[in-house]
Amino acid sequence: MSAVQQLRSAQWYAGQDRNAYIHRAWMRRGVPDDAFRGRPQIAVANTASDLTPCNAHLREVASAVRDGVLEAGGVPLELPVVSLGETQLRPTAMLWRNMAAMATEEMLRANPIDGVVLLGGCDKTIPSLLMAAASVDLPAVVVPGGPMLTGTFRGKPLGCGTDVWRLSEEVRAGTLSAEEFTRSESAMIRSRGHCNTMGTASTMALVAEALGTVLPGVAGTPAPDSRLLEAAHRTGRLAVEMVGADRRPSTFLTKASFHNAIVALAAIGGSTNAVVHLLAIAGRLGVDLTLDDFDRIGSHVPVLADLQPAGRFLMDDLHRAGGLPAVLREVRDLLDPEALTVTGAPLVTHLDDDAVWDREVIRPRSEPLIAEGGIAVLRGNLAPAGALIKPAAASPHLLRHRGPAVVFDSIEDFHARIDDPDLDVDADSVLVLRGCGPKGYPGMPEVSNMPLPKKLLALGVRDMVRVCDGRMSGTAYGTVILHVAPEAAAGGPLALVRTGDTVVLDVEARRLDLDVPADELARRRPNEATLAGFAAPRRGWERLYVDHVQQADTGADLDFLIGSSGSEVSRESH
**Per-residue confidence (pLDDT) for residue 530, from 0 to 100:** 56
Q: Is there a contact between 48 and 62 (Cβ–Cβ < 8 Å)?
A: yes
pLDDT above 50 (res 3): no
**pLDDT computed for residue 5 by the predictor:** 44
**Is beta strand 376-380 parallel, antiparallel or unpaired with respect to 115-120?**
unpaired
Cis upstream peptide for 486 (omega within 30°)? yes
Residues of the chain with pLDDT > 90, as a percent, come to: 83
Give me the mean pLDDT over the 395-402 stretch: 96
> What's the pLDDT at 84?
97
Phi–psi pair at 568, nearest 5 degrees? -75, 135
State residue 534's pLDDT score: 59
Question: What integer pLDDT is reported at residue 570 of this predicted model?
Answer: 75
- How far is the C-alpha of 279 from the C-alpha of 1, rounded, in Å? 39
- Sheet of strand 41-46, all strands in order from the earlier edge strand to the far edge: 75-80, 41-46, 115-120, 140-144
Q: What is the band of 529 on the pLDDT scale with cuts at 50, 70, 90?
A: low
Query: Which pLDDT belongs to residue 488?
Result: 95
* Alpha carbon distance 192, 148 (integer Å): 5
* Span 249-269, average pLDDT: 97
CA dihedral for 172, 175, 179, 180, sign (positive or negative): negative
pLDDT of res. 533:
55
Domain 376-554 belongs to what topology?
Glucose Oxidase; domain 1 (3.50.30)
DSSP string, 419-464: T-TT----TT-EEEE-S-STTTTTS--B--SPPPPHHHHTTT----
pLDDT 10s digits, 443-499: 999 999 999 999 999 999 999 999 999 999 877 889 999 999 999 999 999 999 999
The bridge status of strand 376-380 relative to strand 156-158 is unpaired
Q: How confident is the model at residue 526 (pLDDT cuts 50, 70, 90)?
A: confident
Q: Read off the pLDDT of residues 553-570 as tens digits, 9 standing for 90 and up.
A: 999 999 999 998 899 987
The structural domains of the chain, with segments of one domain joined by +, span 40-150+190-351, 151-188, 376-554
Q: Sign (positive/negative) of CA torsion 481, 370, 217, 330?
A: negative
Using only C-alpha atoms, the chain has a radius of gyration, in whole angstroms, of 24
| Whether residue 542 has pLDDT greater than 60 | yes
Question: Residue 261: what pLDDT?
Answer: 98
pLDDT tens digits, 15-46: 999 999 999 999 988 888 899 989 999 999 99
Burial bucket for residue 500 (CB in 10 Å: 0-12, 13-18, 19+): exposed
Reply yes or no on whether the pLDDT at 1 is more than 50.
Answer: no
d(CA 156, CA 136): 46
Residue 2 binned pLDDT confidence (cut-offs 50, 70, 90): very low
Strand pairing report for 41-46 and 75-80? parallel
Which is more confidently placed, 397 or 374?
397
Q: Given this model, what pLDDT does residue 166 score?
A: 84
Is residue 162 over pLDDT 90?
no
Percent of the chain with pLDDT over 70: 97
**What span, in angstroms and rounded, lies between the C-alpha atoms of 166 and 169?**
5
CA 27 to the chain's CA centroid: 35
- Report the pLDDT value the prediction gives residue 527, as an integer from 0 to 100: 62
Q: Are 102 and 39 in contact (CB under 8 A)?
A: no
Report phi then psi at 178, rounded to 5.
Answer: -60, -35
Output the pLDDT for position 435. Answer: 94
What is the reported pLDDT for 26? 93
The closest of 116, 144, 282 to 201, measured between CA atoms, is 144
Give 91-134 pLDDT, tens digit per residue.
999 999 999 999 999 999 999 999 999 999 999 999 999 999 99
The pTM assigned to this predicted structure is 0.95
How would residue 374 be classed by pLDDT, with cut points 50, 70 and 90? confident
The candidate with the shortest Cα–Cα distance to 142, out of 108, 118, 162, 166, is 118
For 152, the enclosing helix (H) or strand (E) is: strand 151-153
Give the pairing type, strands 502-506 and 511-514.
antiparallel
User: What is the pLDDT of the chain when averaged over all its residues?
Assistant: 94
Predicted confidence at residue 4, as pLDDT, reads: 43
Q: Return the SS3 of 556.
A: coil
Phi/psi-derived region of residue 192, left when phi > 0, alpha when psi is between -120 and 50, beta in every other case: beta
Helix, strand, coil content of the chain in percent (nearest 5):
40, 15, 45
Instruction: Say how far apart CA 233 and CA 208 lie, in whole Å.
Output: 19
CA angle 133, 50, 104 (to 5 degrees): 15
Q: What is the 3-state secondary structure (H, E, C) of 482-541?
A: EEEECCHHHCCHHHHCCCCCEEEEECCCCEEEECCCHHHHHHCCCCHHHHHCCCCCCCHH
Q: How confident is the model at residue 309 (pLDDT cuts 50, 70, 90)?
A: confident
